[in-house]
Homo-oligomer: A and B are copies of this chain.
Amino acid sequence: MAKIADCWARAIESFSAGKFVDANLCGAAQVMLQNNPLTGLLFLAGIAWGAVSAGMPQVAIGALVGLVGATGSATYIGVDDPSLRSGLYGYNGLLIGVALPTFLKANPLLWVYLVFGAAVSVVVMLAIANLAKAWGISALTSPFVLTTWILLIATHGFTGLRILSLPQPGFPQIPVAASAPALDGEWVIRAVLLGVSQVFFIGNVVAGVIFLGALVVSSIWAAAFALAGSMLAIIVALAVGTDLNAVATGLFGFSPVLTAIAIGTVFYTPQPRVVVYAIMGTIFTVIVQAALDIAVMPFGIPTLTAPFVLATWLFLLPRRDFAPVRHVVGSGGALHDN
């Protein structure tokens, strides 16, 4: 593996386009807080698989357009090189590129809207990173969440952009106690893998496996915490009695997956007290997910990864020193993983 990485490093340095490709691949990897071009490549492969399987190739195209659009905009605006290279200006654009064609119908205006949104995500990333660095925390996926919320709410008032699967603004339906589901092994494995794949708004078991594999390439700990986070989320969601269909399709899992990776492996070094802290943060993320699911209903938008951002910020802000912070906070206030 080290040899391949070394070979890759020499190859990308030899020509400028290589550096740009590398920045984009790392941008894809940063969605799960990794800084590894191969991980990013596999993430893109998983997105492509999931999108094509669902008959929505525009989602995969959107991911690529958003990623390159954001990285290109960052180059034009002139951000610092190390942050650009580690993908910190690409991941929000990729997620916007996945989210917009998922929730809106693809038409020419959508693509203009998507590229504009990707460019704005760079400005919002710079803005939030500037705010966040005062407390030594990272922007996480908040630039994606804020930008996409604005882009999606606005479409409720636009006739030029049509809604595909966005909920209408309304009040929550009170849940009724569901009859006990067939919680067999297959149900559990599917739900766990979908929890991982939904990080990219993809509901596909194979994509979930690819994403886990991509994490293994970068960090075995990250993969382990992702898997454990998805499992823990299912246990908690069943214990409190949430909508079973949402649990089965991974919708309660993706934010806890990200929280588990972030608290357990990226900002702290794994050790017993960190594990307790990460478990607590992951459980709290499930509750925040349920709360935000209700809170966003009047606005006709999905929560996106806001539960991850809110819970993880609350658990990073105390800056507990029970574990040395392994990762360097970059100039943009966001994380590096060298």
Contact = CB atoms under 8 A, between A and B. Distances in A.
Interface of A: 77-78, 109, 113, 116, 119-120, 123-124, 126-128, 130-131, 134-135, 149-151, 153-154, 156-161, 168-172, 174-178, 239-243, 280-281, 283-284, 287-288, 290-291, 293-295, 297-300, 313-320, 322
Contact of A158 (B153, B242, B316): B242
Identical chains in the assembly: 3
Given A150-B288, A170-B171, A131 B135 contact: yes
A290 B158 contact: yes
B177 A291 contact: no
Interface majority SS on A: helix, strand, loop or mixed?
helix
A317 B280 CA distance: 32
Nearest to A239: B160
Given A134-B135, A160-B239, 6 more contacts: A126-B320, A130-B317, A158-B175, A158-B241, A168-B174, A171-B298
Nearest to A314: B127
A312 B314 CA distance: 22
A313 B127 CA distance: 8
A267 to B, nearest CB: 13
A300 B294 CA distance: 9
Contact of A156 (B172, B315, B319): B172
B322 A154 contact: no
A176 B43 CA distance: 39
The 9 lowest CB-CB distance pairs between A and B, nearest first, are A126-B318, A127-B317, A159-B241, A160-B241, A154-B290, A153-B291, A154-B291, A159-B177, A169-B171
